[in-house]
Amino acid sequence: MTTILSFLSFVVPFVVVIGVLILIHELGHFIVARRMGVGVERFSIGFGPILLRWRGKETEYCLSAVPLGGYVKMMGEENPLEGEGSGVVDPAKSFSLKPLAARFLIVFAGPGMNFVLAAVIFAALFMVVGRPVLPSTVGPIRDGGPAAKAGLRGGDRITAVDVTPVASWEDLLGAIQAGGGETRQITFVRDGREHRAALTPAPSAGRSSLARGRQRRASARGISWSPWMGLRYCLLTSWPSKSKSAPARRPSSPSSAPAGR
C-alpha cells in the first residue's frame, strides 16, 4: 500500500504539471489560429482513446487517455498523428492557404505561451516568497587579496562604496565595477561600529572585482508586485549565455561573479 501511495504521489503531480503545460501550449495555437481566421476542427489534450468529448460551434474538444501530449487540428492541414485530412474546407479558414506570417504566428504561439506561463509563475513566486538576495556581508577572507589588504574580516557588513549605499552583494559588485578598477572608499560595520577603508579591486577577465572575499548565504527579500522581475528572471534562465546566471546561483567567489547589472 505504501508503495502504491508513493508511486501515486509522484505520478499525479507529474501528470498535472504536464497537463497544464500542454494545455497552455495548445491554447496558444488555438487562440492565435482563431484570431487569424483559421477553422479549428479539434482541440485535444492527450492522445489515444478519447475519454471525454464535447462539441462547440465549430470545434470538438477532447480529453484523451494518454496525457503526454496534445494537438490542435486545424482546417486545411493533415494531422500526422491520425493520418486524417480535413477534407473540403472553406478556403478562407484553411491553415495552408493563410499567408506565411499568419502561419508562423500560429506555430510560434504554442512555445510563446509557455514562455509567458514561466514569466507569470516566476512573478507569482517573487510576490509570495520574495527574490533571493545575497547580503553585503563578507565571508571568509583569503590572504593576499584586495579584501585582506583593505583590512576586511569575515562577518563585516559593507554598507557603502564611496557615497553609494549598498544593501546586497549585487549592489556592492555594481558599485565597485563602476569604478573601473580604481581605488574606492568603502564603509563597513564590524561589531556594531562603523569603519572606513580604501579598497583597490583586482582585475579579473577585464573586470574589477572584490577578489577572495566570499559572500554569505542568500536570504529572501519580499516585494509586493513583480511581473517585470519575473520576466527578467525568465530571460536569464532561458537565454543561452555563459556570462549570465540566475540570482540564486551566484558563484561563491566574487572574483568569478558576473558584472553588476
Planar angle of CA 134, 139, 144, nearest 5 degrees: 125
In total, the chain counts a number of residues equal to: 261
List 26, 58, 77, 84, catalytic entry: 26
Measured distance CA(171)–CA(165) in Å, rounded: 8
Which helix or strand (DSSP H or E) is residue 125 part of? helix 100-129
User: Is 41 labeled as catalytic in the residue annotation?
Assistant: no
Q: Residue 45: CB partners within 8 Å, gap ≥ 6? A: 19, 22, 23, 26, 62, 63, 64, 67, 70
Which helix or strand (DSSP H or E) is residue 109 part of? helix 100-129
Cell of 147: 579584501
The phi, psi pair for 202, rounded to 5°, reads -90, 135
Query: Is the distance from CB of 251 to CB of 175 less than 8 angstroms?
Result: no
The phi, psi pair for 22, rounded to 5°, reads -65, -45
Q: Please state at what angle helix 100-129 crosses helix 227-238, rounded to 10 degrees.
A: 110
Query: Is the distance from CB of 114 to CB of 24 less than 8 angstroms?
Result: yes
Query: Is the distance from CB of 212 to CB of 192 less than 8 angstroms?
Result: no
Q: Which residues are catalytic?
A: 26
